[in-house]
Each structure stands twice: as C-alpha cells, then as structure tokens.
Amino acid sequence: MTSKILIVGAGIAGLSVAQWLTRFGLDFEIIEKRSSECITPTGIVLPFNAVRELQDLNLFDKLTGQFFEAKTITYSKSSGRVIKTANLAEPPFENDQFIALKQQYLDNVLVEGLRRKIRYNTEITTIEHGDDSVKVTCTNELLNGTYDLLIAADGINSLVRQKNFEGQEINIDHNVICWRFLIPYPEHGMQPLHMIGKTDLFMAYPISADTLYCYGHVYQDLNNITLGDNAQENFKKTFSDYGGPLPGILPQVDEAEILTNRLKSVIEPCFFDRRIAFVGDASNGCSPLIQQGAATALADSRCLADALAMQNIDQALITYQKRRRKKVERVTRYADAPLAHIQNMRSWMARELRDLKIRTIGPPNVYAWKKLATDRQFLSRG
C-alpha cells in the first residue's frame, strides 16, 4: 500500500529525504513556509562525511567546479599567530574530500527534480495524532488531511516539534551571537582558518579563488552586543583587534549581506513520536563548531528513507532511531563541548591550556572528524 507522506521544510534535510524517497519510489508532498525558493547568501562547509553522503545520493558530481577543496586547516590566536595546522590529506582522510561552497549551489543540486513537489508559503497550523496516522491542517487548505507519516525537517526552531511537544522546553540557547556572510577577497591564497580569542571566534573558509565564507561569534553576556542591532557594526566592533586577514576583511563588511542568529542546540535528540519523524536540526540540532549540520541531516534522511523502503512505517521509525541515536549523540557532544567552557576563556590560564590542547591533539574540529571517521559505530551505514 502506498503511504501518504508530508515533509515539512525544504532545506537540506527536507530536500535530501525527498531525494531518497524519490529513488525508492515513495510518494510525498513538501511544504515550506518561505514564499518562494530562496537565494541563500552564505557559504557552507562540507567535511568528509557530508561529501560521502552526497556521493551516495549521486549528487556530488553535480557540484564539480563549484567548490573549494581544503587541504589544511589552521587554528591561530586572534593576533594571527599560528597554534596548529592539520593536514587533511593524511590518514584517515587520504581518500576523502573537504569542501566549502556557496550554500546556494548545494540547495540548487538538492532541489533538482523536486520543484513541482514543493508548496511554498505554507505552514503547519495544527497536528493531531491518530492510532496510525497524523491529522494536519496548514495554511494551504488543499493539503489539509490525514497522513500516514509527517516528516519534520523544519530546522532548529521546528514548528512541528513545538506544536507536538507544546509547553516543553525544546532548545538550549548558548548565549552566543553569530554572523555569517560571503566577501570578495581576490587572490587570497588561503586555506581554512580558525582564529580564537577570549569569548569570540572567527572562521574564514575559501569557497573559490577570490571569495571567502566568513563566520564569527561572540558570547553575548560578556560583551555589549545585542542581536538585531547593526550587524556590520557589531561584527567590526567584536573583531577590530584581530590580526591575520581581518584588517583586509573589515573594510568590506559594510557591503556584505550578513545573516545573524543565536547558537542553539536541542535539549534532547528526538527521532520520532508516533507517526511524526524528525530529521536534521529538527531532530538533533547542535552548534556548527565541527561543521556537522549538513552531514547529520543527509545521514538522517538516508537512514529514514532506507528504513521506510524496507519496512512498515512503525517498524521503520524504530529502526531509524536505533541506527541514528548513538551517532547523533556523539556528534552533538563534540559540537557543543567548546561552548560549555566559553566563559572560562576570559582567564589567560584557561586560554593557554586550550592552546596547549590544540597543539597536542590538533584542531578541535579535525580531532572530532578523525573520531567520526575511525569510530566503529560510525563505520556502519546507519
């Protein structure tokens, strides 16, 4: 019997699960609260496991010529003094790729073949569980009705999750404000760079020979910064005393289209509740410090779709949770661990210990990637 499936959200998670369902011959509808297909004005970093997922989906080759392949990653002090450089061609990554690109390029590849399935300007209004279904109303009356499965792929601030667990605290707010933007930087000759200060951090990832994807964040409670104020001025204020490439970047910030938000993580990963499945950030959102958002969303989507293709819905949801829970919990711990100590970085001694750890075991994100690449539980394709 053909199942009736509704996907909420047309971001990386929603589009990738739709791509997998299409390959398995499963039908679905997608709703998206945005009014139309958006042009995402920032970049995205895809480590080895995100690249592997795109290869499994047979989409990676469609990105040829549109990304920058990183060979090393350097961590430095805010002054620009190097702490440690990691080589991304060494084992266990000798057969892998680490790339950065405009997120729009990834979005374009994921949405290919799905545009007729997406209903824009449509938002969930009510959810009601049945014995083996979920009744949905939304702002597009044509899509109101009963579905065998609702897949929530609507991000860290998931409306589906809020409505389903009404009254419960869903997310942790880390009191960290971040900025993301693209900036022209001709002939930069750079490899990815992480610059760490006290309670602030700046990252520059090349996405082409003349463009950088920039990310910065700062702990709000210890700095006179408010989300919603002038993003350009706040960014320049936060990183005005940084060295390295910042003196060349700051004068161009006024012309950049900057996305700002607060770093949040889910309190507890949730994979399904009765006939609602959660994927990507709606299930297990965490900080971007080890660049696992896309990789996790892609892996969630593959695992859920694979289970749905092989089993009835109820058993598939149990299989999906069983295969993904431990892996997701490990990723979340690696991603959020630095934020637990961010206030301590006001102390010079804490910063010296942090830098010594980086010199000893390598950059934190590369260390986490190595763990993910060699941990036995991650080697299975769940």
Angle formed by the axes of helices 293-310 and 12-23, to 10°?
30
Distance CA 72, CA 87 (A): 5
Contact present, 204 and 245 (Cβ < 8 Å): yes
Q: What is the structure's pLDDT at 223? A: 60
Check residue 37 and give its pLDDT: 75
pLDDT of residue 313: 97
pLDDT of the residue at 164 = 96
- For the chain, strand residue ranges (E) read 5-8, 29-31, 43-46, 67-69, 72-77, 82-87, 99-102, 118-119, 124-129, 134-138, 145-147, 149-152, 171-184, 193-196, 200-208, 211-219, 259-266, 272-273, 276-278
**Has residue 50 been placed in a domain?**
no
Per-residue pLDDT tens digits of the chain, which is 382 residues long: 467 999 999 999 999 999 999 999 999 999 999 888 777 789 999 999 999 999 999 999 999 999 999 999 999 999 999 999 999 999 999 999 999 999 999 999 999 999 999 999 999 999 999 999 999 999 999 999 999 999 999 999 999 999 999 999 999 999 999 999 999 999 899 999 999 999 999 999 999 999 999 999 999 865 666 766 789 999 999 999 999 999 999 999 999 999 999 999 999 999 999 999 999 999 999 999 999 999 999 999 999 999 999 999 999 999 999 999 999 999 999 999 888 888 889 899 999 999 999 999 999 999 999 999 997 655 566 6
- Sign, CA dihedral 216-374-97-361, equals positive
Task: Determine the Cα–Cα distance for residues 47 and 98; give it in Å rounded to an integer.
Answer: 5
The 67-69 sheet, strands edge to edge = 43-46, 99-102, 67-69
- Chain centroid offset of residue 274 CA: 26
Domains contained in the chain, number: 1
129 belongs to a structural domain: yes
Query: pLDDT at position 2, please?
Result: 60
Is residue 18 assigned to a domain?
yes
- Check the CA dihedral 217-236-259-257 and report its sign: negative
Q: Which pLDDT score is estimated for 224? A: 67
pLDDT given for residue 341 in this prediction: 86
Question: What's the domain range around 293?
Answer: 5-41+87-97+104-171+266-379
362 in any annotated domain: yes
Paired with 5 in beta bridges are: 149
pLDDT at residue 228 in the model: 67
**Is residue 343 one of the residues assigned to a domain?**
yes
CATH number of the domain encompassing residue 338: 3.50.50.60
Instruction: Please indicate, yes or no, if residue 57 is contained in any of the structural domains.
Output: no
Q: Tell whether 22 is covered by a domain.
A: yes
In a domain, 290, yes or no: yes
